[in-house]
């Protein structure tokens, strides 16, 4: 063999399904996608290399685990990359249309993107369509989106002299002052400071809708420059945009705030305070039924109820780390002086955990007692920003279906599995059958965010993975999504409109037992540390019910409906018999209303339909004479005639089965 033959180095690429392929060193994400299929190469937006998202154009020179990122990637990173790139394209369009505009922050958000703009031009709704058209024109130019890496000092020079952009210079001199090298993304004559990754080409943007204009301040500081914020959303196809706009219209109809008022479930009052919902009688029934359902299921599984106060001494939360960890979202401390002038400070309870730890530590525990499963529907308070409040879904006062399980290390995996099983049971009962499970782990590069040692975190995350694998559940990994005291198993449900909501959670905690010096006496007669599982299937009662209202469009299942049956007599002559039917329903614990108004039956039925009452019992002279009832089902119409006995049996069976 000739010594002059150039044998190119190869790298081994491992795909998510565990299969390996060999490629020439320097292969790019685009090359890999194209080798799999032309459609995948067309749909590819970026690539994950060993879990880190990078641009498709970056060469891979070492063996690596690789995952192609498309728009519909399950952890939403594809959408984030697409929408962040769209914000850059919007900024370029604005710069071309309104010269002299400068740009602050332009991130991807949960549904789309925005950019903060400093401009002498005052943007109006009529400008949005003009900007949209320019964005699509930029897309048609097929501009390459190119990354440039350079030193921070060179970037400052570039944004000072070439771009004349004081906002990016401030970021470089302040936020990134300890970052020696940064990256800039170029597309045509436009450039922006960004860590990426981004799309490869502007042509990948096929549809866009700019949705809103609002006021903002540079870096969110009201003392700084006033800016204008333009929101938008973009897609790789016109079909996806049309579906999104249709979903928005449907979401308006399902908005839990709108339905909550129409169905008289809850109210929000500025006199009471922003973010502090008040449950009205019908809403209180829904909440009470959900609580009763979970209480009974927890009782079967060995949980014991507790109650704790709404406030606590600030020292308790300092010990747990919730203060000052959550200080930005807590109400200010309450300062109290007793009759001797001694000062104490209290907090509105931000979390239930420390109170439960005090219950556990109230006496000496034996290994034989464990696991101890404490549970409480405990109300907590967070001082959320006004702009982030959203009815029940984001409130300042809310009730968590909180539980803390104190167990031995040898019991831990089984207890995690039991908590997962309970959470899945709750979601299945309530009709959430599209669930994504995320293992939320710590970020080893930012250990200052967390309590405990790296060894403790490694153990806790091993426990979480073992339990998830034992349950046979599919999951994604969320690095950096852990709580400050432990990794989590987060349950993210997809509602009827395909929107994702994080609801239930199961968390493993080795940190709090140390902070609170919790122990039990083991079989060896010596003290040992328990492990804590934090567990909340609903998460927040308010948030869960808000999501449930939107998921069902207010059409609750029979067992949960505030009014289960409307008894509707046709004429005054059958009022006595209708009252007999109504009383029979009440005597059998069925929530029924009797409508004795002198209105036509058609109007009574329409109003019951609008009120989303599951069943209507129509009483006419024929029913009164025969001792029967005519049954109607909400949205389904006539269900035939039943005797009172058969009616009660049918309703009680449906309620019991929670079907």
Binding residue ranges for Zn(2+): 353, 404, 534
Catalytic hit among 116, 165, 402, 509: 402
Q: Return the structure tokens found at 462.
A: 């091993």
Domain spanning 565-657: which superfamily?
Anticodon-binding domain (3.40.50.800)
Domain spanning 292-308+352-552: which superfamily?
Bira Bifunctional Protein; Domain 2 (3.30.930.10)
Place of tokens 């914020």: 229
Q: Is 353 an active-site residue?
A: yes
Cα–Cα distance between 291 and 538 in angstroms, integer?
10
Q: Is 127 an active-site residue?
A: no
Q: Return the structure tokens found at 306.
A: 């507790």
CATH of 10-69, one of 3.10.20.30, 3.40.1410.10, 2.60.40.10, 3.30.110.30: 3.10.20.30
Catalytic hit among 353, 401, 604, 612: 353
Catalytic hit among 79, 287, 349, 404: 404
**In the 8-state DSSP scheme, what is residue 496?**
T
Q: Is 400 an active-site residue?
A: yes
Q: Is 404 an active-site residue?
A: yes
Is there a contact between 210 and 90 (Cβ–Cβ < 8 Å)? yes
- Topology (CATH) of 77-250: 3.30.980
Please report the pLDDT score of residue 340 as a whole number.
Answer: 84
Q: Is 658 an active-site residue?
A: no
Using DSSP, state whether 511 is helix, strand or coil.
helix
The domains of the chain are located at 10-69, 77-250, 292-308+352-552, 565-657
Q: Return the structure tokens found at 464.
A: 């979480």
Neighbours of 656 (CB within 10 A): 9
**In the 8-state DSSP scheme, what is residue 390?**
B
User: DSSP of 67-106, one letter per residue?
Assistant: EEE-TT-TTSHHHHHHHHHHHHHHHHHHHHHSTT-EE---
Q: Return the structure tokens found at 469.
A: 């694998």
Considering only CA atoms, which of 352, 468, 467, 366 is closest in space to residue 404? 352
Q: Return the structure tokens found at 75.
A: 């952890």
Q: What are the residue ranges in the chain where pLDDT is below 70?
A: 1-8
Is there a contact between 489 and 464 (Cβ–Cβ < 8 Å)? yes
Q: Is 192 an active-site residue?
A: no
Binding residue ranges: 353, 404, 534
Number of H helices, E strands in the chain: 20, 35
């Amino acid at each position: 063999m000739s010594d002059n033959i150039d044998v190119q180095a190869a790298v081994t690429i491992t795909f998510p399904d565990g299969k390996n392929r060999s490629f020439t060193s320097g292969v790019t994400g685009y090359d890999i996608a194209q080798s799999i299929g032309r459609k995948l190469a067309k749909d590819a937006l970026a690539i994950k290399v060993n879990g880190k998202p990078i641009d498709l154009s970056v060469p891979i020179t070492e063996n690596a685990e690789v995952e192609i990122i498309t728009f519909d990637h399950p952890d939403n990173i594809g959408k984030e990359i697409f929408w962040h790139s769209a914000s850059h394209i919007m900024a370029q369009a604005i710069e071309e249309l309104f010269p002299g505009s400068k740009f602050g922050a332009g991130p991807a958000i949960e549904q789309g993107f925005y950019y903060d703009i400093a401009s002498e031009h005052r943007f109006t709704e009529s400008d949005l369509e003009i900007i949209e058209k320019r964005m699509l024109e930029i897309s048609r130019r097929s501009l390459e989106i190119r990354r440039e890496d350079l030193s921070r000092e060179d970037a400052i020079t570039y944004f000072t002299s070439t771009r004349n952009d004081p906002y990016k210079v401030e970021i470089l001199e302040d936020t990134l002052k300890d970052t020696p090298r940064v990256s800039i993304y170029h597309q045509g004559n436009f450039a922006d400071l960004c860590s990426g990754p981004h799309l490869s080409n502007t042509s990948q943007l096929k549809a866009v809708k700019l949705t809103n204009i609002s006021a903002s301040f540079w870096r969110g500081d009201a003392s700084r420059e006033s800016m204008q914020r333009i929101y938008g959303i973009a897609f790789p196809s016109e079909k996806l945009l049309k579906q999104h706009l249709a979903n928005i219209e449907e979401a308006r109809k399902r908005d839990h705030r709108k339905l909550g008022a129409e169905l008289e479930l809850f109210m929000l009052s500025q006199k009471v305070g922003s973010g502090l919902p008040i449950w009205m009688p019908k809403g209180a029934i829904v909440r009470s039924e959900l609580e009763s359902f979970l209480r009974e299921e927890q009782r079967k599984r060995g949980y014991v109820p507790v109650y704790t106060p709404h406030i606590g001494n600030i020292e308790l939360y300092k010990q747990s780390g919730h203060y000052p960890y959550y200080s930005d979202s807590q109400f200010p401390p309450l300062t109290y002086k007793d009759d001797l002038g001694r000062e104490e400070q209290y907090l509105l309870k931000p979390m239930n955990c420390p109170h439960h730890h005090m219950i556990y530590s109230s006496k000496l525990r034996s290994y034989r007692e464990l696991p101890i499963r404490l549970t409480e529907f405990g109300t907590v308070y967070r001082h959320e920003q006004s702009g982030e409040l959203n009815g029940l879904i984001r409130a300042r006062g809310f009730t968590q279906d909180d539980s803390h399980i104190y167990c031995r290390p040898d019991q831990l995996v089984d207890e995690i599995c039991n908590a997962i099983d309970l959470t899945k049971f709750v979601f299945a009962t309530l009709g959430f059958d599209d669930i994504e499970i995320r293992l939320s782990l710590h970020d080893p590069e930012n250990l200052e965010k967390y309590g405990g040692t790296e060894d403790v975190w490694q153990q806790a995350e091993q426990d979480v993975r073992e339990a998830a694998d034992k349950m046979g559940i599919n999951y994604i990994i969320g690095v950096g999504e852990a709580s400050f005291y432990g990794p989590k198993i987060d349950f993210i449900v997809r509602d009827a409109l395909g929107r994702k909501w994080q609801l239930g959670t199961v968390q493993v905690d080795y940190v709090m037992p140390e902070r609170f010096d919790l122990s039990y006496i083991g079989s060896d007669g010596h003290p040992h540390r328990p492990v804590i599982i934090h567990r909340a299937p609903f998460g927040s009662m308010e948030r869960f019910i808000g999501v449930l209202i939107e998921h069902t469009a207010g059409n609750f299942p029979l067992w949960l409906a505030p009014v289960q049956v409307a008894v509707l007599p046709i004429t005054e002559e059958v009022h006595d018999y209708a009252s007999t039917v109504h009383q029979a329903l009440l005597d059998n614990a069925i929530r029924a209303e009797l409508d004795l108004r002198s209105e036509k039956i058609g109007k009574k039925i329409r109003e019951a339909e609008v009120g989303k009452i599951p069943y209507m019992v129509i009483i006419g002279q024929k029913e009164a004479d025969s001792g029967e009832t005519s049954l109607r089902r909400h949205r389904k119409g006539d269900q035939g005639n039943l005797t009172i006995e058969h009616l009660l049996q049918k309703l009680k069976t449906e309620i019991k089965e929670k079907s």
